[in-house]
Amino acid sequence: MQIVDLMELEAQGYEQRQVNVFFQNDRFKARVIVLEAGGKIPDCQMDCYVMFYVVEGEVKLFCDGKASTLKQKQVFITDPAVVSMESECGARLMGVQIKV
């Protein structure tokens, strides 16, 4: 059993995102994601199910080219897709990947 405080975890930028993983096994990976104001995560082809939960802030999320706003305390779940995001004001999220 593991309890994680998503507000206490330190996070690196997108280029060093592997450091942000706080749980992983052969089918499931969870990480904290922090975007500074104006921050972006480029298009990423996800070959797994993906879930993003916004702990704090707001992001503009793109899934297969369709844009949606994801606000604090909202969750986004998708089948495998091309996903990216950006944040004008900054945000802290939990990202979960579940292999098919």
Q: Are 58 and 52 in contact (CB under 8 A)?
A: no
Residue 1 pLDDT greater than 90, yes or no: no
Q: What is the pLDDT of residue 18?
A: 83
Q: How far apart are CA 73 and CA 7, in angstroms?
A: 13
Mean pLDDT of 21-27: 96
Residue 14 pLDDT greater than 80, yes or no: no
Domains and CATH numbers, the chain: 15-99 (2.60.120.10)
- Residue 68's pLDDT band, with cuts at 50, 70 and 90, is very high
In the three-class reduction of DSSP (H, G, I as helix; E, B as strand; rest coil), residue 16 is classed as helix
Q: Are 31 and 38 in contact (CB under 8 A)?
A: no
Structure tokens at 69: 């706003």
Using left for φ > 0, alpha for ψ between -120 and 50, and beta otherwise, residue 15 falls in alpha
